[in-house]
Amino acid sequence: MKTPVRVLFALLPDSLALDWAGPAEALRIANGVLAEQGQPPAFAVEFVGPDPEPMTSVGIRLRDIAPLPVLGEDDPRPTWIVLLGQPGSAFNVRRTTTRRLLDWLRPLQLHEGRRELVCVCAGSLLAAHAGLLDGRDATTHHQHLDELRAAAPHCRVVANRVFVTADAVWSSAGVTTGIDLILHRIADVCGPLVAARVAETMVVALRRGPADPELSPFLAHRGHLHLPLHRLQDAICQQPQADWTVEAMARVACVSPRHLARLFALHAGTSPLHYLQRIRLTTAEAALRAGARVGQAAELAGFSSDVQLRRAWSRLGSAGDTPSRARRLRGDTLS
C-alpha cells in the first residue's frame, strides 16, 4: 500500500485562515473521492506549530496544535511542509513563535518527491528567512515581492504568476491561490480526475498563471460549473475507448445532441468531438510512451485503427512528430 503524504500545516499566531483552511479542505475532499473509489487515503494532514493555541487572523483561537515534529533524514514518509501568510504589509519575523519556527525550518534538507515546501501567500517569506529559497524560483503575494527579494537575494523572485514550482519548493501568489496550488499537487499524487472532482466539489476553477505550462487535456476545459457537463467529461476521461458518438454523449448529459454542442461551446470553449479526440490522443500518447505498439495504443484510446490515430495525431499535434516517434522517445523500437 502506498504511504500517504504527510502534510504538516505550520501554524503561527495570526496565520491567515484561508491559507490553511482552503488547502486542508481540498485534501480532505481528495481523500473522500478516493474512498468512494475504494482506495486508501493519499494524505495525512497534521497541524503543527510553536504555539499550541494560536489565534487565527479572523479572531478564532485554535486548540491542540501539535508541537513542531522532529523530521529525521531517515524518515521514509513523503512530507509536505505548508507555510502560511499573515495579515499586514510586512511579515514580522521578530516574534518569539516565528523565530522558533524558523529555527525548526533552517536545518531541513529538502528533496523533491520526499520532503517539500508548499508556501502559500507570504509563507514564502518564512522559507526565505530560513534560507530555503537560495538558487530557487519562488513567488508570493504582490505586496510582498520586494520584501521577498530583500529576504532572499539569491532567490529568483517571479511576479504575476498564480504559483511557481522549483525543485522541492512550491509557492503561490496569495490566499486563494493556495487552493490552486494544492489542487495541482493533488493531481500529481492522485491523478487529474481526482483533482477535477475536488475542484468541482469546491466550486473552484482549475487554473494556472499565464506563463505556466498548458494544462493537461484531462484538466483543460473544466473551469466551468455545469454539473451534467462535468459528469460527461468524467465519463469520457474514465473510458475514452468507449463508443462515444455525439448521441451517446448527449444521453450521459441528459440533453439533446444539439444542446450538448451549445453547452460545450458555452461552458468548455470547445466541441464534444474535439474534446473526445484530445482525451483519446493523450491516452494514446501515454500508452506509446509506456511501450505500447501504435496499434495497441490506438485500441486502448478508442481509435478504430492505427491509421485513425495517425490522422488525429497529424491534425491535432502532440509532443512527437508521429506516434512512432513518440514511442521511440522512450527508447523503444517498433517492429
Instruction: Indicate whether 31 and 130 sit together in one domain.
Output: yes
Separation CA 273–CA 277 (nearest Å): 6
Within 138-226, where are the H helices?
Answer: 145-151, 177-190, 192-202
- Residue 311 β-bridge partners: none
Instruction: Looking at the structure, tell me whether residues 195 and 100 fall in a common domain.
Output: yes
In a domain, 209, yes or no: no
* Residue 208 included in any domain: no
Q: Does 137 share its domain with 59? A: yes
Residue 320 domain-assigned? yes
234 and 157 together in one domain: no
Give 115-147 pLDDT, tens digit per residue. Answer: 999 999 999 999 999 999 999 999 998 889 999
Shared domain for 285 and 157, answered yes or no, is no
CATH code: domain of residue 228: 1.10.10.60
Model pLDDT, residue 327: 57
Q: Judge contact between 59 and 109, C-beta under 8 A.
A: no
- The grid cell for 163 is 504559483
Tell me the pLDDT tens digit for each residue of 31-70: 999 999 999 999 999 999 999 999 999 999 999 999 999 9
CATH number of the domain bearing residue 175? 3.40.50.880
φ/ψ region of 137 (left if φ > 0, alpha if ψ in -120 to 50, else beta) reads beta
**Statement to judge: residues 294 and 148 lie in one domain:** no
Q: What confidence tier does 315 reach under pLDDT thresholds 50, 70, 90? A: confident
- Last-in-domain residue among 176, 202, 228: 202
So what's the pLDDT on residue 320? 52
Residues 190 and 223 in one domain: no
| 141-156 average pLDDT score | 94
List, in order, residues 6 or more apart from 317 with CB less than 8 Å away: none
Q: Of 44-48, 159-163, 194-198, where does the model show the most confidence?
A: 44-48
- The DSSP secondary-structure symbol of 264 reads I
Could you tell me if 155 and 101 are in contact, meaning their C-beta atoms sit under 8 angstroms apart? Answer: no
pLDDT value of residue 334: 33
pLDDT tens per residue across span 74-100: 888 899 999 999 988 888 888 999 999
Domain-embedded: residue 30: yes
Same domain? 24 vs 140 = yes
* Among 202, 235, 264, residue at a domain's last position: 202
79: left (phi over 0), alpha (psi -120 to 50) or beta: beta
Q: Which domain holds residue 147?
A: 5-202
Task: Report the candidate in 208, 186, 205 with the shortest Cα–Cα distance to residue 29.
Answer: 186
Residue 223: its pLDDT value, please? 67
Strands 43-48 and 137-138: unpaired
Please state the domain count of the chain: 2
Q: Which of 321, 245, 243, 240 is CA-nearest to residue 287?
A: 240
SS (H, E, C) 62-89: CCCCECCCCCCCCCCCCEEEEECCCCCC
Question: Which is more confidently placed, 75 or 213?
Answer: 75
Using alpha carbons only, how large is the chain's radius of gyration in Å? 22
Answer whether residue 211 shows pLDDT above 50: no
The one-letter code for the residue type at 23 is: P
The 3-state DSSP class for residue 116 equals strand
Structural contact between residues 175 and 16, judged by C-beta atoms closer than 8 angstroms: yes
Domain boundary among 149, 170, 202: 202
100 and 129 belong to one structural domain: yes
Any alpha helices (H) in 191-271, and if so which ranges? 192-202, 227-238, 246-253, 257-263
pLDDT reported for residue 24: 97
> Would you state the pLDDT for residue 155?
96
N-to-C CA span, the chain: 36
**289 confidence band (pLDDT: 50, 70, 90):** confident
Number of H helices, E strands in the chain: 13, 8
Length of the chain: 335
Quickly state the pLDDT bin for 222 (edges 50, 70, 90): confident
Same domain, 21 and 111: yes
What pTM was computed for the model?
0.71
H or E element, residue 300: helix 294-301
Instruction: Give residue 249's pLDDT band: very low, low, confident or very high (50, 70, 90).
Output: very high
Average pLDDT over residues 266-290: 89
Quick check: is 59 in a domain?
yes
Reported as a pLDDT band with limits 50, 70 and 90, residue 318 is: low
149 and 79 part of one domain: yes
Contact 162, 6 (CB under 8 A): no
Question: Are 159 and 251 members of one domain?
Answer: no
* Cα(217)–Cα(210) distance, integer angstroms: 17
CB 30 within 8 A of CB 40: no
